[in-house]
Structure 1
Amino acid sequence: MNLKKSVNLLLAAVLVFALVLAGCSKENNESGASSGASGSPAKNKEITLAYVAWDSEIASTNVVKEVLQSKLGYKVNMLQVDAGPMYLGIADGSADAMVAAWLPSTHGENYYEPNKDKFEDLGVNLDGTKVGLTVPSYMDISSIEDLNGDIAKSLNYTITGIEPGAGIMTATSKAIEEYELKDWKLLESSSAAMAKVLQEAYAKQEPIIVTGWTPHWMFAEMDLKYLDDPKNVYGGDEQIHTLVRLGLKDDQPDAYKFLDQFEWTPADMEAVMVDIFNGTSEEDAAKKWIEANADKVNKWIDGI
């Protein structure tokens, strides 16, 4: 092989190597651009959402998950826990965020206040919630105070509750004491089991009393009412807040900005809950709502 030919081959090899490097650089730049303001690789865009298995939080957390995945390119891990561990998970950093803080009454004293310096509160994501003792409207009863009357026997002195440790369960135990509901018991179950018991009694027009809250699909599907709470044990109207672990803003700025801008209405949440109740999967119900509310979703991710 002569010298001229060797030089030409060497130059050709150098040119090919340079083109390969340029292509890799372009790929990395495009990947960095698509990963958000941090410029971190897309593979690092992973986040863990903590939630409790209440119908309201199943709806909201699945909507947040779908936006993070489909709009922002995140891998999302779902961590289902009870209320106490949900707060502790955000406080100790084992979870990144949750959109299920019912404040100021339901979660305030037991979960929020003891940990408030260990996470960041991004504020209200839904306004106008309520919790309390709930009965079908066909029942001739209007106040918690009435539970000391003749109605008690027909209800078997039983309030059907949800998961032990939930804020509404703590409040109901307190209500039993405050209203001196002697011989009454609070039955622990789950939100799904509570709703099923309510549906069965409602279908037969039988007396039933449960721990209820809005937004919830059961208020859309049945004619229900809250019992008046003159001692204000359950508090008034509440809000649901978004909480994130300390440091999330620096580690995952795209997710942080979206979570900070996430807000919707009770009607929005109920639409997702009703679809799930009627048989749509949680994921598909979230996708359906997002597709139907593009303008609202675009505001959530504006600036990312």
Structure 2
Amino acid sequence: MTAQRRAMTFKGESSMNKKLKAGALGLASVLILAGCSGVEPNPGGFGFDVGSDETITFFATPGYDDTVSLTALWDVLLTERDYTVETQSVDLAAGFSGMARGDIDAYVDAWLPITHAPYIEPLRDQLVVFDEDEPIFDNNRLVFAVPESSPHNTVAEALAAGDQYGSEIIGIEAGSGLMGTLPSVLDAYGASDKFTVTAGSTPAMLASLQKATNDGKNVLVTLWTPHWAFSEMPIKALEDTEGAWGEADGSYLVTSQAFAEDHPDVAEWIKNSRIDDEQFSSLMFEVSQAATPQEGAKAWLEDPANRQHVDAWFD
């Protein structure tokens, strides 16, 4: 452990098991913690069988709304094409290790070249990383977020006024790439020893953010963009004037070696898919409102423009 990490104090999140408030957050918590269950084949699907008797196994980390949503979308799309799909809810380290062993087939939202590299690079010889082409999505950014009413607009301003935030940063899962990057960000702003970092869960962080906005109080949280919270809560991302969070990551497909060999058609569909900020944000919002991630993805596909867009991925 570096001196930089020792300077930070992490404490457990006592409210991890609290239910989120009513509305989008409450539903998001339920669907995230429930994981990604399979869906029945769509009876209105295609008239030809391009599927497989084998089960395609994705993994997604509970609380990562972008990954949960994109994985659910591919669950629905592949099920429509007569594939059997399941999603395991595990953290990043376990997911990529399982993929390297061949127990898991694919991850559809690997943030590269920065955030998820520490999990992928040690296993790269055992994985297939489809990062030679354009990313599925090209604008993933890690950020600090505060209520819109906060007087601060930059990371430097907020970190210099720690007392206005209770000298606390509310983070997400301790094993996430975001939390792994956070110490270097605080170090870049000379704030490593000025804040207590609460590592808990994404739903708990969102609940704290919602409560603060409801109560008109300040709170400083770690978040990422795009995320549905920016359209559903009065919050803002702080400008990172030092570039400490790094450049934007792309979303890439990573698979086991066996999957890339056995299902080249599916790998080709996923790696060649593209989604923009507006589409991704609206997909995450629909998933946050639904009883299950798959139901949210289906609701998103009911928009003719979205359906037309994704159907082109299979041309």
Task: Give the total of aligned pairs.
Answer: 261
After alignment, is 119-128 or 152-161 more displaced?
Answer: 119-128
SS of match in other structure, 1:117? helix
1:78 aligns with 2:87: yes
Is the 8 Å Cα contact of residues 136 and 223 (structure 1) preserved in structure 2?
A: yes
* Structure 1: unaligned runs, 5 residues or longer: 1-32, 37-41
Structure 2 counterpart of 1:111, from 119, 134, 146: 119
Q: Which moved more, 1:250-259 or 1:217-226?
A: 250-259
- For residue 274 of structure 1, what is the amino acid of its counterpart? F
Shift in Å, 1:188: 0.8
Give aligned-pair identity as a percent.
26
Relative distance call for 1:284 and 1:184 in structure 2 (3 A) is same
Provide the aligned C-alpha RMSD in A: 1.9
For residues 1-304 of structure 1, the aligned pairs below 5 Å read 34-35=49-50, 42-44=52-54, 46-53=55-62, 54-70=64-80, 72-108=81-117, 110-123=118-131, 124-149=135-160, 151-181=161-191, 182-292=193-303, 293-302=306-315
Separation (CA, whole Å) in 1 of partners of 2:84 and 2:130 = 22
Instruction: Give the SS at the match of 2:72.
Output: helix
Runs of 4+ in 1 over 6 A off after TM superposition: none
Taking the aligned partners of 1:154 and 1:227, their CA distance within structure 2 comes to 15
Query: Is 2:172–2:201's contact at 8 Å kept on the other side of the alignment?
Result: yes
Report the TM-score when normalising by structure 2. 0.77
Contact 2:213 2:234 in 1 (8 A): no
Alpha-carbon offset, residue 142 of structure 1: 2.6
Is the 8 Å Cα contact of residues 49 and 61 (structure 1) preserved in structure 2? Answer: yes
Residue 261 of structure 1 contacts residue 301 of structure 1 at CA under 8 Å; is this kept in 2?
no
SS of structure 1 residue aligned to 2:302 = helix
**Per-residue deviation, 1:79:** 0.9
Q: Per-residue displacement from partner, 1:195-218 (whole Å, max 9, x unpaired)?
A: 111011011221011101011110
SS in 1 for 2:120: helix
| Cα displacement (A) at 1:64 | 0.6
2:42 aligns with none
Cα distance change of structure 1 residues 279 and 43 upon mapping to structure 2, 3 Å threshold: closer
Q: Give the stretch that moved more between structures: 98-107 or 292-301.
A: 292-301
Q: Contact (CA 8 Å) 1:90, 1:244: kept in 2 or not?
A: yes
**Secondary structure, counterpart of 2:200 in structure 1:** coil
SS of 1:289 mapped into structure 2: helix
Q: 1:128, CA displacement in angstroms? A: 1.4
SS in 2 for 1:241: strand
Q: Which amino acid aligns with 2:284?
A: M
Counterparts of 1:57 and 1:171 in 2: how far apart (Å)? Answer: 19
Point out where structure 2 has 5 or more consecutive residues left out of the alignment.
Answer: 1-47
Secondary structure of 1:130's partner?
A: strand
Partners of 1:199 and 1:255 in 2: CA distance = 39
Query: What secondary structure sits across from 2:157 in the alignment?
Result: helix
Contact kept in structure 2, 1:60 and 1:99, CA below 8 Å: yes
C-alpha distance 176-111 of structure 1, shift in aligned 2 (>3 A): same
Residues in 2 aligned to 1:220 and 1:207: alpha-carbon distance in whole angstroms:
18
Greater helix share, 1 or 2? Answer: 1
Structure number with greater Rg is 1
Matched to 1:198, the amino acid is: L
| Contact in 2 for aligned 1:105/1:234 (Cα 8 Å) | no
- Equivalent pair of 1:160/1:210 in contact (CA under 8 Å): yes
Match of 2:16 in 1: none
